[in-house]
Structure 1
């Protein structure tokens, strides 16, 4: 007798700008118990630059609406899988940005920046350090965004990398080096905000070395998508303290 095929998991849509570390999403989909169907759409990019004016354009409504149109009728939730292209709008702007995408598709919606806020609350963490790939002014914008959400950053590190394309080439040693350097003794969690950065394979190692939770952009984005649809996302091994909750 042939066993019934497992039911498909939730259909999760991700709007991802350009091409850098998008392979982490199907990878995460195979690692979590919910076994989601990952629907990833690449949104258009004007200029690949971690610069505020370029990021405001990157997260503009026309680019997101065009990307979302490819997910119509295909997903149960949608995430704007970009940190810098959401937090540069401020907290209220990021909420409006995500809401507009959700309304267009008639599904729950969020973004990576909002996912960081939700993940901090889930962990009960209140004193984050930020280890970022961005230039200093963009890191400051992220810290300001978190402050608007009620969380004060205790320390920031800025690698001053201008493009997502370069960030996507970082390997284990480069990631490990700047994340550890971005920690602070007073921090109860380290945030690594860039969806262009590969981190999924090294989260447990980073946490073991630092002795505290590490939240990375693609990790929190997948967690938030699962949370939005009420899918199982706790008790997972290998994906850090957030997924172990």
Structure 2
């Protein structure tokens, strides 16, 4: 039984993970540990606190106690806001404490794009522009071209978690660009497990969401890389797994 642990800040779309576990079948267990969020705000200073080593270390110790095969810091903005090297140090710290290979949602996006051989994307971000721009910079450090990006300007994860599936479909479609090979939706506070296939049907191209790539990355690190249906192109493709993202 493959066991993957996720450090998840607060409570917004944590119920996506049981949905992913069910869709993955009976051979995977996804363990969620909620980490401290002193302030729910998509603001740089608040995000640096959310992803601090003290906060993640406490959660990683719990994952170690559960004996997970891999660990993922399931927060996009709370990883890319540290920059490429800072995010790498952050993930390494989680791995050391958890006693398992570790990554974060930001690196999961990069590794997923490399596995799919996609280099040009559009971004439909829930964040304010200041935070969304940091994600564009992070992807640029990995050599990924952003054809277009938009920020919805939502300040709190709690509000993102209330968005309906129909709302998300319309908003992500509006964030697409003709030159983009895929559309990225970078917020683990957004529910997406139930609408991954609908998103790709609507846009006619690959769509990668934060919780989706987080789960994929955890399975990748744990060596469970068999193709799986019902969770979008990323899980279905069976693409060769790349080495961990490096500059």
The TM-score by the shorter chain falls in which range? over 0.9
SS at match of 1:71: helix
SS at match of 2:122: strand
Equivalent residues of 1:157, 1:181 under 8 A apart: no
Structure 1 residue 68: Cα displacement: 1.2
Residue 172 (structure 1) aligns with: 165
* Structure 1 residues 50-88: Cα deviation after superposition (integer angstroms, max 9, x where no partner): 001110111000000011121223211110000000000
Alignment gaps of 5+ in structure 2: 238-247
Alignment gaps of 5+ in structure 1: 1-8
Q: Is 1:48–2:55 an aligned residue pair?
A: no
Q: Is 1:90–2:83 an aligned residue pair?
A: yes
Q: Is 1:58–2:75 an aligned residue pair?
A: no
Q: Distance in 1 between matches of 2:231 and 2:149?
A: 23
Q: Normalising to structure 2: TM-score of the pair? A: 0.93
Equivalent residues of 2:169, 2:202 under 8 A apart: no
1:94-173 matches, cutoff 5 A: 94-173=87-166
Q: Distance in 2 between matches of 1:12 and 1:183?
A: 31
Q: Distance in 2 between matches of 1:35 and 1:93?
A: 34
Q: Distance in 2 between matches of 1:34 and 1:123?
A: 26
Structure 1 residue 34: Cα displacement: 6.3
Q: Is 1:187–2:158 an aligned residue pair?
A: no
* Structure 1 residues 186-240: Cα deviation after superposition (integer angstroms, max 9, x where no partner): 1000000000000111111111111110000000000000000111441x22111
The structure 1 segments of at least 4 consecutive aligned residues displaced by more than 3 Å after TM superposition are none
Equivalent residues of 1:146, 1:152 under 8 A apart: yes
Q: Distance in 1 between matches of 2:56 and 2:41?
A: 18
Q: Normalising to structure 1: TM-score of the pair? A: 0.94
* Structure 1 residues 153-198: Cα deviation after superposition (integer angstroms, max 9, x where no partner): 1100111000000000001121011100100011000000000000
SS at match of 2:65: coil
Question: Which of the pair has more CA radius of gyration?
Answer: 1
Residue 240 (structure 1) aligns with: 232
